[in-house]
Structure 1
Amino acid sequence: MRQSLKALLTLRNWILDGTLSAGERLWEPTLATRLMVSRTPLREALVRLEHEGLVEAAERGGYAVRGFSPDYLKQTIEIRGTLEGLAARQAAEARHPASRLAPLHRLVEHIDTIVSQAQLDEEALNRYVTLNGEFHQHLLALAESMALSEALERIGNLPFASPSAFVMSYAHSASAHRILFIANDQHRCLVDALAAGEGARAEQIAREHARIAQRNLDSALAHPAGLDAVSGGALIRQP
């Protein structure tokens, strides 16, 4: 494995699991020693993490781990909803044949088998995260827009802004079934809108779908213990 990739993967994990705290200064000599890499690949990794939005330039040079306010996170979720709404409109107006929509139908059915279980354990939630991510990737592919793909990738680099960001915080939540059932029903309605070529309806459903993440963020902030289950939750700075 290239040293820059090793440094990138390790630093990203340390940031998301809280090993490196929000606001913590990233001293290159110390990190190079801990990672057992030279300074050049370490700098390459830090530049990439800055692009991803997980680190920021420090006042006297170098980098620090970035922290995020709840308001900022709500704005990123709203932006994701706007972009996914646009993707859904473009996908619907493209009037794709049924064969192109078939993977979305199958994913909705597979997710149904998960949310219909009597209990949702960690394995079931992990499976939901995988299938949900595939659904959103298929939807974006149907929009056939490189610009949208790049913009959504940038937003998705912030873990709490991704479509499945708060799913694992449901592990001990009595409302998990209700929330995930509603989310998958929105998936189903969205696929129906795509099949009918209803661009405006598809856009509105996709934007409403993203608002579930807004409510989940509010719930997680009201019960901070739930943030421990969210990748990057330690980066959220409470007011």
Structure 2
Amino acid sequence: MKNALITGATKGMGRAISISFANEGINVAICSRNEKELLKFKEELLDINPEIKVFTQVTDGSKKAELLKFAADAEHELGFIDVIVNSLGMFIPASILNESDEVFEKQVNTNLMPTYELYRYFGKTMIAARKGHFFNICSVASLNPIAQAGAYSVTKYALLGLTKVMRLEMQEHGVKVTAIIPGSTLTDSWKDAVVDKDTMVLPEDIASAIINIYKMSPGANVDEIIIKPAPGQL
């Protein structure tokens, strides 16, 4: 049975992705800062598919030591990790000149650092096995910066750049790397806004794309996929 590790797994895209892997009969390792949410979601995943294993650990993914402990413990519990989905992220709307002092560091540690560290942790193991797949959840802000979200745009640009470097390093070793580039997606970032869900990308759309890409033949890799609202960005 295959194993997937998903960060930011209890909400939004990460949640939908975890459910999709469970439906495919793939064991999942998930983390969250909220133990109650984590245990409730574990029960939900096991209800969906009682045959899978669900490894959970209370973890603040923006803290390197906690993140790496989660990675090591998941590997110890489940074995070889076949898929890593870096979906942990945060959006803080502010221009660079007006944002508070901690905003840049906070978004680097949430939007960029976890992908870098999990790549360094799992990359050599995947090379040795000549298999594995990294999915990095980027953003349309990785392609076109948002003036009202300066630090966010910088970190997402950097995440897409990191993804491209990862792909170049991994491609000769049979390890796949895919950048998922969503536009306006109905996640908690929009919880205070009044929006029509039919004008947005849904987390389930992102999950569907990832599962279909993962199931492609060994010789095929999707380098990047952009998924935007049909009526245009909000």
Q: TM-score range by the shorter chain?
A: under 0.3
Structure with the greater alpha carbon radius of gyration:
1
Structure in which a larger fraction of residues adopt helix: 1
1 or 2, which has the higher strand percentage?
2
Q: Normalising by the residue count of structure 2, what TM-score does the alignment of the two structures yield? A: 0.25
